[in-house]
Amino acid sequence: MLAPLALEAERDRSEDRVVCCGTRAPSSSGLTCRWGDVEVPARAEKGGEVSCCVPPAELLKADPEATGVPIKVMHHNSVIMEDTLSMETVQLLRSRKPKALQDGFVAAPGGGAEPAVLSAADVVANADSAAEAPEQQQQPGREGEVKAETRREAMQRQYSALRPFVIISLSYLLFTTTDGAVRMIVLLHAYTSGFSAWQVAIAVPDVSSRPPHAHTDRPRLSPRLDLRFPPPPCRTPTAPAHASYFLFGSRDMWFEVPLPFFLRNVAYGLGWSRPLTGLFLAVWIIVYGQVQSWTPQLVLSPLKQAPANKYVAVLWNALLVVTPLFMGCMLQFSDIFTGHHIGGMTAVMVGGLGAFCLVFAVNSSIHSYLIVRYAEGDKVAMNVGFYYCANAMGRLTGTLVSGALYSYAGDTVVQGFAACFWASLGFAVLSAAIEVLLRDDSGGLLCGRCLTLVKPPPGAADGPVVQIELD
């Protein structure tokens, strides 16, 4: 049995109405609209279109088979229009803002005599824009009504969503600051106390794993993300982890212990003070972290190398090989270091290690992405854990080997430091060699718009679109 609404809704000028576009009333009397089992009065507007009020959502029952609410525009006992709307659309139709939502229905605020009438193309376009509008900008009100949230409410919601992230980030920042400060104090104090690099490498190795930085194009704060991935390659999920063992070993082969010892050494090194040495190492780490997080947007995307693949990893690893090769040659054969020219030594150290910092950061970002991309669907956590285990083991190996080389290789500190870079070169080459063996031919290699080094296979750019819903 139909349950007609009270006619007071017709007299409430704040009640929203909808216009049934394309429906002409045969006469101005005997018009009703049936929303499922609920019947409401309707009327003929100027131009002949029929309009009616939208009943509260709690009075409606969606038809399970039709996946929505059946709508009928009646003239006496004749059906002059019939359609089905989802419950979400019905709730949006009750909003106070004029908005086209679905073919045939247009929301009109108030009970005005001239509600909006749009063409079918306009209705479809507005429906698309309404569907794409962020869901966070609306919140349910009384009686199923949807209203726009205020600026203050939006800020409160965003703060609530970001609060856990801010707390965790600050906690981790304080932890890493304490960790780095304690290690630096112990290391520099050990140098002043006369401990060798080998003894310090055994005592204070840094094998802590860092959490991954954003590397697959940071998700924007939107309710839906379309992420395009290339077709899944035939790959070995743990191969990037093996490559990362040598990649991070190549850095700590000279960074953790030999570098601060050389910077502090007065006779053969730069003779820097403890604050200056700590400042240089801190700036190096900060720049490395920032470049790693900016790599997808500022490096790979402009070069048309995003998302990264096997060829991109090999290219950047090959570039990394150049920096320890340069440093090893300068330390081993250049008169700048053998003759102890402080100005030239400072320039080579800052320039060479700065270049290593930038290229290494790009490599680290690429490896972090590939380990997730190559991971099997139900083993992502295991493969990422294996990756960071290999990362830590590479750093441990590099720290221990660097301490021994710096202390015992060659007749002087300069030769020992050069040996550290030769070992770093070997580790970088091995990392690149492992990446060459990856069975991943899903994408090519570009260097900007004009230079194609490896032509991508047909259809490589047309990977499936994965939609991720964010709360």
Of 329, 332, 323, 331, nearest to 351 by C-alpha is 323
**Lowest-confidence pick of 9-13, 83-87, 272-276, 307-311:** 9-13
- Find out whether 301 and 372 touch, Cβ atoms under 8 Å: no
Residue range 114-120: mean pLDDT, rounded: 37
> When comparing pLDDT for 50 and 405, which is higher?
405
Amino acid 79: pLDDT: 86
Amino acid 148: pLDDT: 60
**Which of 68-77, 157-166, 315-324, 361-370 is predicted most confidently?**
315-324
- Find out whether 421 and 251 touch, Cβ atoms under 8 Å: no
- Find out whether 85 and 73 touch, Cβ atoms under 8 Å: no
> When comparing pLDDT for 63 and 227, which is higher?
63
Cα 365 to Cα 363: distance, rounded to the nearest angstrom: 5
**Distance of CA 300 to CAs 130, 213, 448, Å?**
34, 15, 9
Cα 242 to Cα 378: distance, rounded to the nearest angstrom: 20
For residue 146, pLDDT beyond 70: no
For residue 336, pLDDT beyond 70: yes
> When comparing pLDDT for 454 and 132, which is higher?
454
Structure tokens at 404: 């021994």
- Does residue 307 have a cis bond before it (omega within 30 degrees)? yes
Residue 246 pLDDT grade (very low, low, confident, very high; cuts 50, 70, 90):
very high
Amino acid 461: pLDDT: 47
**Distance of CA 290 to CAs 294, 299, 370, Å?**
6, 12, 19
Cα 199 to Cα 186: distance, rounded to the nearest angstrom: 12
For residue 60, pLDDT beyond 80: no
Burial status of residue 41 (CB atoms within 10 A of its CB: 0-12, 13-18, 19 or more): middle
Domains contained in the chain, CATH given: 3-149 (2.60.40.10), 196-469 (1.20.1250.20)
For residue 415, pLDDT beyond 70: yes
For residue 154, pLDDT beyond 80: no
Give strand pairing partners of 452. 446
Residue 434 φ then ψ, to 5°: -65, -40
Express each pLDDT in 417-429 by its tens digit: 999 999 999 999 9
For residue 151, pLDDT beyond 50: yes
Cα 453 to Cα 316: distance, rounded to the nearest angstrom: 13
Express each pLDDT in 94-107 by its tens digit: 654 443 434 334 43
- Find out whether 305 and 445 touch, Cβ atoms under 8 Å: yes
Amino acid 64: pLDDT: 53
Degrees (nearest 5) of the Cα angle 199, 387, 428?
A: 65
- Find out whether 316 and 305 touch, Cβ atoms under 8 Å: no
Length of the chain: 471
Express each pLDDT in 2-15 by its tens digit: 333 333 333 344 45
**Cα dihedral sign for 399, 404, 406, 407?**
positive
Amino acid 330: pLDDT: 96
**b (16+ CB within 10 A) / e for 376-406:** eeeeeeebbebbbebbbbbbbbbbbbbbbbb
Amino acid 385: pLDDT: 85
Express each pLDDT in 202-243 by its tens digit: 886 654 444 444 334 333 333 333 333 444 454 555 778 889
Q: What is the C-alpha end-to-end distance of the chain, expressed in Å? A: 40
Amino acid 298: pLDDT: 92
Cα 238 to Cα 234: distance, rounded to the nearest angstrom: 13
